[in-house]
Amino acid sequence: MRLLPRTVRARATAAASLVVAAALSVGAVVLLLVLEDSLRDGLDRNLTARARDLAAVAPRIPAGSELEGGGDEDIALVVGPDGGIVASSASEFTTGAPPFTLFLGNSGNSSVPGGGDDDSDFGDHDDDASSPPDDPLRATGADPELRTLSGVSEDGERETYRVAGLSVPAANGGGRLTVYVAATMERVDEPVAAVRLALLFGLPALLALLTFGTWLVVGRALRPVEAIRAEVADISEHALDRRVPVPASDDEIGRLARTMNAMLARLEHAGDRQRAFVADASHELQTPLASFRTQLEVGLAHPDATDWPATARGLLDADLAMERLVRDLLFLAREDADAATAPPATLLDLDVVVLEEAARLRAVSGVRVDTSGVSAAPVRGSRDDLTRLVRNLLDNAERHAASAVTVTVALDDGGAVLVVQDDGPGVPEAFRGRLFERFTRADAARARTGGTGLGLAIVKAIAERHGGTVEAGGRPDGASGARFTVRLPAAA
């Protein structure tokens, strides 16, 4: 059985409500305890002051005097050395009813509970109401003793009083007088009960209000998320140009929406590149296939007049072009799949790779290759991949060079720098940013000279996978030609 709510809104509201309910409950308990303790302390201070005041004048009070009680239900009492009442306050109680019997210990309907909190006892009391205390007050110090006493009044109601008692010498050395001042505990209990009742009804109402407010606020906060979800659910692979709504607030949800739109833009761009790649690959494959078909159709139409060795060489050239294209496509596909994987960290000399590839180019081309600027540059990476990078750059330069290709290798700022430049027509500045895209050619002057249109894209993929960069530019001396610069991290 599922106990947790299904939605984030419900879970957030439930969690917030539980936390608030726990906090309110603890706060209510603490409030009641603090309130009761504060009221009790105030009552004790009042009784202590009144007991001291009464004790100061008790020896001079005439017998039978009526005392000020301090309130309708308050009691003031002076008891003589013989246990008789010297003076008392006007009260509904008589000397035969509580709480007088609790003070004096004479017979009557009374009960003596245990002392409250840290207060002193007036004496040793028995729980049996028929056994009143023999000596209800033992302290003779300057500070009154405080107790909470209770009993049943004449009308049958249980009454609880807070009592302060103090013993003072009687006049003329005639023993000791005992002063009692008492106040009903209703002064504490009634405010506490009123606050408890208010909390009993107020806290659930407040909790309900907070729960409702949390439900509304969370729902409003999650509304953009639902809009994003609904929009993403409607977006198909053929509608990647759509975007999710972005809220005006710059919060987590706003950043989520912007991140989603950035992801959709990348997916759209990747889809466009994939479609363009497939279209370009199909177009590039058509050229060798068309050459195949044309030469075969001509040979079959005129078998006797066909130079079959020349036809075979033409077919072989078309096959080699198609093979290079397929090989380059497979390499780029593997690079895309392994883009996040670091290449093998083999220590090798980039200058050695460059010199080997320059020697190969000299053997198959009439273009002059200048390697006088090649110096030692150790790097870490895949020898096969870096060989391919150098070969593609040299082949590209050779195809477009008028007469010479210049290659330099050096260490600069902790990295290996490979520079390949030619003296051909160069690359238009406006086109240099797109030069490393797949199946991209600058113009007719640098177009169909035997390349597949993937060589520089492969150079860029290899350089980036090795933690490097590649850029195209013009020659620094201002002469005609193109200049390609590859920067790779030097071996540590």
24-54 pLDDT tens trace? 999 999 999 999 999 999 999 999 999 898 9
Domains of the chain by start residue, with CATH: 57-187 (3.30.450), 252-337 (1.10.287.130), 346-489 (3.30.565.10)
Given the structure tokens 């902790």, which residue do they identify?
A: 414
297 to 292, 307, 311, 316: CA distances (angstroms): 9, 13, 11, 16
The Cβ of residue 83 has, within 10 Å, a number of other Cβ atoms equal to 11
If you write DSSP's letter for every residue of 436-488 in order, what string do you get? TSTT----GGGSSSS--S-HHHHHHHHHHHTT-EEEEEE-TTS-SSEEEEEEE
Instruction: Write down the pLDDT at residue 352.
Output: 94
pLDDT for 264-285, tens place per residue?
888 887 777 777 777 777 777 7
| pLDDT exceeds cutoff 80 at 77 | yes
Helix axes 308-337, 252-301, angle to 10 degrees: 170
Helix axes 8-57, 186-234, angle to 10 degrees: 170
List the one residue out of 463, 352, 461, 468 whose CA is nearest residue 414: 468
Q: Are 424 and 482 in contact (CB under 8 A)?
A: yes
For residue 66, the cross-strand partners are 88
- For residues 195 and 200, give the distance between their C-alpha atoms in angstroms, rounded to a whole number: 8
pLDDT for 175-232, tens place per residue?
888 888 888 898 999 999 999 999 999 999 999 999 999 999 988 888 888 888 888 8
Instruction: Write down the pLDDT at residue 371.
Output: 94
**For range 459-477, the mean pLDDT:** 90
339 to 122, 342, 362, 461, 489: CA distances (angstroms): 90, 8, 33, 8, 17
**For range 70-95, the mean pLDDT:** 71
Confidence of residue 397 (pLDDT cuts 50, 70, 90): very high
- Tokens for 345, please give them: 């960290």
pLDDT for 404-415, tens place per residue?
999 999 998 889
